[in-house]
Amino acid sequence: TIIQLGDLLHLVGQPADLHNAQLVIGQEVDTSLSTKGTDLRVERVVVTNENVLGKRIRDLHFKERYDVVISRLNRAGVELV
């Protein structure tokens, strides 16, 4: 994905690291990254199917198979990208 002017990025990190990234990317905004005004939905799903354990997210091909993007992974309270 090529970043374009006006794109909204969701950054996750320590405050000092976020500040440094912001200096490179641009200003912080209060705009929500919700799907309001679109047909898209956001759902949180807990992994319970053992068939996906140990697999890389990219190897599951969610975008190609289901047209769904896994944008975040939360493990033990920590958001991973």
Distance CA 54, CA 6 (A): 36
Q: What is the mean pLDDT of residues 51-69?
A: 90
- The pTM score is 0.57
SS (H, E, C) 9-48: CCCCCCHHHHHHHHHHHCCCCCCCCCCCCCCCCCCCCCCC
Out of 7-21, 50-64, 67-81, the most confident range is 50-64
Distance CA 56, CA 59 (A): 5
Percentage of the chain beyond pLDDT 90 is 19
Q: Tell me, what's the pLDDT at 64?
A: 92
Q: What is the pLDDT of residues 25-56, one digit of tens each?
A: 999 888 766 777 777 777 788 899 999 999 99
Q: Which DSSP letter does residue 58 get?
A: G
For the chain, how big is the Rg over CA atoms in Å?
15
